[in-house]
Structure formats: structure tokens, C-alpha cells
Chains A and B, each alone.
Chain A
């Protein structure tokens, strides 16, 4: 029976989960884990299938608004509204994916962008439902997870469960076929795989878990801000994924942590923190495309004298 995660990943996850709430307020630590889920999910598209989507904020926001509205308007507890939001996001991803996934890279980017904007403006204008520009406030947690520590534990559990499910997915035959599609779509089709169908599956998985992340997010601060469904946040999620390392399963979580640190900590000292983010992003794109995880692997390989292994082996071994 193959191990699900390799040792470095396990160590990293444990250190992260235990250490985060001491470095940040527990509620911010929960935010990191939430964004981590979204980033890992987005990487199913980007790193594993080679699809760059500028529409992931659409699903994050959809999940957030869905859970938020079900809880504030219809009194549903988080334990019901979060799964409901996840299902809703999956359905939306399926419908939108039907239209998008068979398009080539350029069109795929433009159309995911277009859908993102469409949904953004719906959220912006439908003020009675979503609160419009001011966002949706008053999203209350159920009593049992109301204080910040128990909510953090709740988030940790969802984070671990999500990682396990997504890791099983990438280790599965479907996960490997997606990687084959990323490397050589024409050959993958010639060997008999319906590329469009598999891309749709990846799109739905990514949308579903990003929606789950959004749903939990609405309970983190108790509010759904409109900027989380804006196309620029789509870019931010891609930034997290790339910065952490799109060639690794757990890498994107590192990117999510860095992004949150910039947003929550650096922002207190400098209003122009997005510029730092932009500069880091530009540097990553120019010089460090494998991201932090990629660089860590190179350093580790040199330190232990191991020869470099195939990207797929690393991905499957769960780094």
C-alpha cells in the first residue's frame, strides 16, 4: 500500500498546523489553511493538468457567498451550509467547465476571466442578497466552534481531510492521466483518453475544493468581502500556487502562508504591500519558476547528494 504523503510533506504539515497559531492569531492561521486548500485545488488545474485559469476567485466567492447566505438568511448551521456550498460550487464548476475546458490556453484564460467578471458584477449589483460592494456581514459560527481555538481545530480537520482527498485524486489513474495531458495532450488523446472529459473532471475538482475554501473563509472573519470574488483575487490565488511551487502537491500551501503574511502582517507597516507581492511574483516568474518548494527540493537534493528525480515521481511521492 503506497504511502499517501512522503516524510518531508508530513513534517511540513505538522509543523505548519502546530506552529501557525503561535506566529499569527488563530483566526489568521485559519485563514492560511483556508487559502491553502484553495491554492492546492487550483494547482490541480495548473501544476497537474497545465491549465491556467483566471477564474478561481469565482468559485471561492461562490462558495463563500453560498455558505454566508445560507447561514445569515436561512439560519443554516455552518455544518450544513459549508457542504451545501461545496456541492453548489461543484455544480457551477461543471456547468462553466462544459463551456470552458475544451478551449485552447488563450481562450480558456479569457473565458474563465469573463465568467469571473460576470459573477463579480452579479454579486456587486445584487445588493439585497450579497450586500454588494460592502460585502456580506454577520456570518455566525455555530456555538461549538465559536471561539477562535475550536474554530482553528475545525479548520485544521477540514484542511487535512481536503488534502487527503486531493492527494488520493492525484495519485489515482485520473491524476496521472491529467499529468499526461499536461505533458502531451495529442499523445494522451492518441492513446485513447478523452482529454476534454478529464479536463472537466480536473476543473470540477478544483472548483469544488476552492468553493469549500471560500465557504469556510466566510466563517473565519464572519464576513464575505466582495474582493474575494474579483478577478484580481484569481490572480492572487495563482500567485500563491506558483510562489509555493506548482510542481509539488503541498507547495501551494507555502504560497498561501506567504500571501497571508504579506496581507495581514506587512500591511500593518506599509499600505503598499501589494507592490511587494507584485515584485515577488515577477521575480518568481522570471527566475524561480519552480517556487519555494522547487527550490527546497534542489537544495535538499544537493545537501544529500541524491540525483534529481522525475517531477512525476516527486509529485506522486507526495512532496
Chain B
């Protein structure tokens, strides 16, 4: 049985606009696959089809042998899928630890509704929270309000929420968007450290980052796949250079 992520002829049309047109690719388990392309290429729309924010007009998304397209977003974590957000998306009135709790608890207790015991009554969940905070480097802020964190740290918190349930598939939407050079390094270092342990699909714009960490790259252009291959293959691809990289690279 094939594991890993499969996009099979995924299309998303908005009326006459074909935002995503017949896109197919496969991501092997443990690989880091990046989707690049100029603005308007359809990367985010494709990403939203994978995360179930949008339903594909046609085609299928499969993970680990299960069909995940057509499901509602909150059903995806049950398949071991987690995502982060391009614009940092955290729970502003909770503490850092409580933020991570939201996903850690779900992984631990499934969909059972608990109303009697206190939220922090499960030591396993608490251990997971602190492990995850350790991994992203936010342990010392555990009890701080999430909004007290610096911009870059909030992005790390965003990842921590995605990482806590130890997902099989990580979907990261422009993880370095809006970050300073230093924070970009921190995030990239973190993601590199995750390689192999997680299957990762990434949308990214910063080419140096993309080339450095990707196992495979899919280049999108006007909603279609322009090219796919290893970083070296993509770098050498004339079509890609013309469409996207310009005379550089």
C-alpha cells in the first residue's frame, strides 16, 4: 500500500478561472517536497485543497492510502495530518503552553468530549507540550501569554501547535513569510531537523531556502505543473528559469 501524499489530477475552478488545473504529484514518506511558483500560480489554492479548506472541483488527494479530499478540515488530524498557517495563527488569549495543549490534547484524547476533569489533568499531554516547546525552543515562555511573544517566536509557536500531535504529514504554508533573516534561519533550522521524521510539504518563496532543504520541488505556473524534480534538475530546467527564476540562479 502506498503511503505518503498523492495529489491525483487535482483541479480547482472558480467559475471560468482555473486556479488549479490537473495537478498531480506524489510525496514519498519522510520526504520534504516544496511547491514553488510565481504569485498567482495557484500554490495557495492547491495547498488549501490539500488541507480541505477548499474542496477540489475534480481530482483526489490521498494520504497514507486514505482519500482526504472531500473531508472537513477538522477530520484531517485523525489521519496524522497537521498544518501551519502563512499568517501566524495562534490562540491569542491563551498562554504558550495552552496553545500547544489544543493540538496535543486532541491527539491524546481523540474526539471524546471531556467536561469534568481539569484541562491539565493528563500528565501525558503536559509532557508532550513541554517536549514540543523544547523542540522549538520556547520552553522558557511556557506560561507567558501567547501575545507577549515576539513575532518570530509566535511563528515558532504556530509550528509547535502543528508539531505537538506528532503528525505523519506536515503542511507548511510559507513558513518564513514576513520573518527577519535571523528568524528565517531559526525556522529553516527547525524544519531541517524535522526531515526524515515527518513527511513535509512546503510552499515557499525564498529560493535559497528551497534549494537547500528540499528533496523534490514542484514548480507551478498558471495553475499547472510546469516542472518537477530534484533541486538540481529544477535549477537546470530552462523552462523554469524562463518562467520564474529569471536570469539569476
The interface of chain A, by Cβ under 8 A from chain B, is 2, 168-169, 171-177, 179-180, 182-184, 186-195, 197-198, 201, 309-313, 316
Contact = CB atoms under 8 A, between A and B. Distances in A.
B213 interface: no
B118 A172 contact: yes
Interface string B158-200: 0001000100000000000000000000000000000000000
The 4 closest A-B pairs by CB, nearest first: A192-B77, A310-B145, A191-B103, A183-B91
B208 interface: no
B168 to A, nearest CB: 14
Contacts of A179: 91, 93-94
B92 A183 contact: yes
B74 A173 contact: no
Interface in B25-65: 51
A190 B105 CA distance: 13
Contacts of A316: 119
Interface of B: 51, 72-78, 82-83, 85, 89-95, 98, 101-103, 105-107, 109, 111, 113-120, 143-146, 161, 165
A176 B98 contact: yes
B95 A187 contact: no
A182 B115 CA distance: 18
Given A171-B118, A172-B114, A184 B92 contact: yes
A172 B103 contact: no
A192 B119 contact: no
A193 B93 contact: no
A190 B115 contact: no
A189 B76 CA distance: 9
Contacts of B109: 173
11 contacts: A171-B119, A173-B109, A174-B114, A179-B91, A179-B93, A187-B102, A190-B89, A191-B77, A192-B165, A310-B93, A310-B146
A187 B164 CA distance: 14
